[in-house]
Amino acid sequence: MAKMFSLIVVFLVLKLSLLFCYLSDPRCFWRKKDRENYLGDKETDCFFSIYTKHGYVKNDYFSENLDKQVTRKTIHLISSVYFAIEEINRNIHILPNISLLVKIECNLIEDNVERVWSLKKKEIIPNYYCKNQRRYLIVLTGPIWITSYTLGPFLYFSRTPELYFGYFHLLLSDQEQFPHLYQMTPKDTSLPLGMVSLAIHFRWNWIGVIITDDDHGIQFLSELRTGMERNTVCLAFVTIITYDKMLYFKMIHRYYHQIIMSSAKVVIVYGDKESPLQLNFMLWKSKNIQRLWVSVSQFDMITMMGDFMLNSIHGTLIFSHQQSEMSGFKQFMQTVHPSNYSNDISLAKLWWTYFKCSLPPPDCKTLKNCPNKTLFQWFFEPPLGMSMSETCYNLYNSVYAVAHSIHEILLQHVDTCSENDGKVLEFNSWKMFSFVKNIQFVNPAGDLVNMNQNRKLDTEYDIYYITDFLKHEGLKMKIGRFSGHFPNGQQLFMSDEMIEWATDIKQTLASICSVPCRPGLRKYFQEGKAVCCFDCYPCPENEISNMTDMNQCVKCPEDEYANTNQTNCFKKVVTFLAYEDPLGMTLAVLAVCFSVLTSVVLCVFLKHRDTPIVKANNETLSYVLLTSLIFCFICSLLYIGYPNMVSCILQQTTFAIVFTVAASSVLAKTITVVLAFKITVPGRRLRWLLLSGAPNYIIPICTMIQMILCGIWLGTSPPFVDADLHMVHGHIIIVCNKGSVIAFYCVLGYMGFLALSSFTVAFLARNLPDTFNEAKLLTFSMLVFCSVWITFLPVYHSTKGKAMVAVEVFCILASSAGMLVCIFLPKCYIILLRPQINSFHDFRKTHVKVININ
């Protein structure tokens, strides 16, 4: 009785629960909450076992039971298979009178690989049956590679080939271990080059890399590093995420500091989403690490919770294998209600659980009233949209590859297999698999699908920009593409219009180690640092850099000079002391005026040659001195104007000889004065020196010595026209090079010796009677002469360009004018303004001895 009573109580409780359910929810089944869907948006492994059935089959293959924990992405995969099969079954040109059907099994490995051994083999291995049951032609596996890697041997034992539609994996490409497996996705051979090309396009040279510690990641890093080295792109850091759980938790802080301490603003992410990478980014998301992420579509941007994994204000750039848009898939999804495909309440229950739509009581068999808005809000959350994902597209092509392979087999058996013999054609799985691996077809989207791995071209990629502006809302936009089989320089195409519309990363985001060196600066590399890290230094003198980030400066040609900013070379200005220059014009006018003045003085002396003041101290020497001074003034004109070979030789020889004549004339006059007062006393035996005119021979002797020096100068290293390109910045100075500097200073020193000798003799005779006595005048003239030429030496060597020539001309004029003024101006004053003094009557009256040597 107690047991009976207990059963009655339980029954009543259940009835009450059912009554409550009837009042609150549809009475077909309780409304399930989504709390059990802890997987969120996580990808799950699925087996799509393909088999055939004669005749056209409509929808009954959708009546299989599905796991209640199937996620959105899995529903997306299932829908793409349904879509492909429905297209094929309706197309009489592919498989006439034959329909493809599929058995779907998901979540074969829920937690880890070890649990696979606890599964029932008859549930997971097709064709492994003792009874005469259904046999499958081929199994489509994915998107998780570890499932195919683990369960692949069981499929091989059951004689069932396998098409893997997930992302390419090196372990699955081993033909010895997996001879029965074919990977739909090609190997990413050109992906590293595509990412390097993208960095070059945006001028990024300081990039971080995050990879997984497996063969895939290491090989990708090796190829990426090679491409970077060829294009001067540097790795700021490399984070290798380990699979070892214990080591991972030890390294997790190091991973974080590695990225947060780096100045790189762009980070490349490559690896399996199911690896610890996902955990890493979920942890980093709370730290709000702002970087521009560059990744591939296999590392999906959506977390298990449905929000964005790599959230950043800069967004994310995704490389996705190029594919066309499936317009029919969008229409298919708009009608993908369970009631259109299945009478099984389990499928309706699954849809109802996810879409949370109410069933109209009392009829529980119709799901027509599930609102499309509710369905699409759940299914098409960003960034999937209404288009197929890359994995779904591979799965879609896999189904078509199977169909075309069966079609080829049918063509081979068209004569042997007919409907009249009553036999049903049995398809050989291995034979069909040999067709699958080499078949080529055009899918309904217009894309050429070549299953022959040896004939596949380099992978083409679409480049998408993804950014999130709300938790579950984002923007995904195609901004470019990369084709590895194009020539270098044409492989990457970026749409600047789309980039500007979607983002401003090209203008604002700069991932560089060092600020670019502007024109005028060159890069200076520091030992031990990457080539992308450098300092900027100004170019050396007369060298330029007219582009950004130049390693070496370029030296300007000899006839050009660098501007102040050292960015351009300009033609140097040809400079010489021209008559048109104010300085040249002034010196020329002074030379002409002084030569005219000297000529006037000479005329005055000739006119008054019979006066005592002219006759005193040898008038012939005065005429010679005045004539030499005239030539001294005139020879300064040889220094003005454009130099040539003749003018250069005449400059130095005329200057040397004429000034030697002038200096020797002064010396002769000085000696004459001394002899006149010291040797003319009666009884002196050397009186004949004065009477014979011996002082006059000083001029030719001294001049001959100077001419010999000049001859040696012209014979060994004569003056020549020289263009000094470096003396003055930005100018080419056309000057007369002295040739032999030693010869020049010997000539100049010889003239200085004559002047010093004259100054010494005149200084000793300064106290002699001063009526018409030239001793003091000659002393002052030689003092001026020596002062001018002593000052000339330091001034000449401290000036540059045409100023050097002007200094030499000024010294010629100054020394000549000094002798003219000091010697002849007092005499002209007496001749012209004090003529009463210039008479023999006054001369005798003063009892001053005047000796007429003539």
Amino acid symbol at 466:
I
780 belongs to a structural domain: yes
Please, what is the Cα angle at 174 between 169 and 175, to 5 degrees?
Answer: 130
pLDDT tens digit sequence for 561-597: 888 888 899 888 888 888 888 888 999 999 999 999 9
> What predicted TM-score, i.e. pTM, was given to this entire model?
0.64
Whether residue 338 is found in the same domain as residue 407: yes
* Helix, strand counts (H, E) of the chain: 27, 24
Residues 308 and 179 in one domain: no
With beta carbons less than 8 A apart as the criterion, state whether 489 and 347 touch: no
Each residue's pLDDT tens digit, 41-58: 566 788 888 888 887 776
Supply 397's token pair: 């092509």
At 780 the pLDDT is: 82
Question: Do 663 and 709 sit in the same domain of this protein?
Answer: yes
CA distances from 150 to 144, 172, 234, 321, 457 (A): 11, 10, 38, 26, 30
Residue 119 maps to a domain = yes
Same domain assignment for residues 659 and 543? no
What is the structure's pLDDT at 381? 43
483: which strand partners? 460
* 339 and 398 fall within a common domain: yes
Higher pLDDT, 212 or 470: 212
> Is 5 within a domain?
no
For residues 385 and 484, membership in a common domain is answered with no
Range of the domain at 778: 582-719+740-845
Q: Domains in the chain: how many in total? A: 4
Q: Are residues 637 and 768 located together in one domain of the fold?
A: yes
Are residue 173 and residue 49 in the same domain, yes or no?
Answer: yes
Assign 109 a pLDDT band (cuts: 50, 70, 90).
Answer: low
Task: Please indicate, yes or no, whether residues 55 and 154 belong to a single structural domain of this protein.
Answer: yes
Give the CATH number, domain containing residue 111.
3.40.50.2300
Cis peptide before 186 (omega within 30 of 0): no
Task: Please report which confidence band the pLDDT of residue 124 belongs to, taking 50, 70 and 90 as the band edges.
Answer: very low
Answer whether residue 732 shows pLDDT above 60. yes
Residue 819: both structure tokens together? 């002798």
Coil, helix or strand for 537? strand
Residue 548 covered by a domain: yes
Choose among 463, 441, 467, 462: nearest CA to 452.
441
Q: Are residues 200 and 79 in the same domain?
A: no
Query: Is residue 687 included in any domain, yes or no?
Result: yes
Q: How confident is the model at residue 208 (pLDDT cuts 50, 70, 90)?
A: very high
Rg value, the chain, Cα: 54
Residue 260 located in a structural domain: yes
pLDDT (0 to 100) of residue 396: 92
The rounded distance, in Å, linking the Cα atoms of 169 and 626 is 107
Domain CATH number, residue 812? 1.20.1070.10
Distance of CA 739 to the CA centre of its chain: 50
- Asked if residue 181 lies in contact with residue 430, where contact means CB atoms within 8 angstroms, the answer is no
Which string of DSSP letters, residue by residue, matches 230-273? HTT-EEEEEEEE-S-HHHHHHHHHHHHHHHHS---SEEEEES-T
pLDDT of residue 152: 78
Q: Report d(CA 632, CA 590) in Å as an integer.
A: 12
**523 Cβ neighbours under 8 A, 6+ residues apart:** 517, 534, 535, 536, 549, 550, 551
The β-bridge partners of 211 are 240, 270
608 & 638 share domain: yes
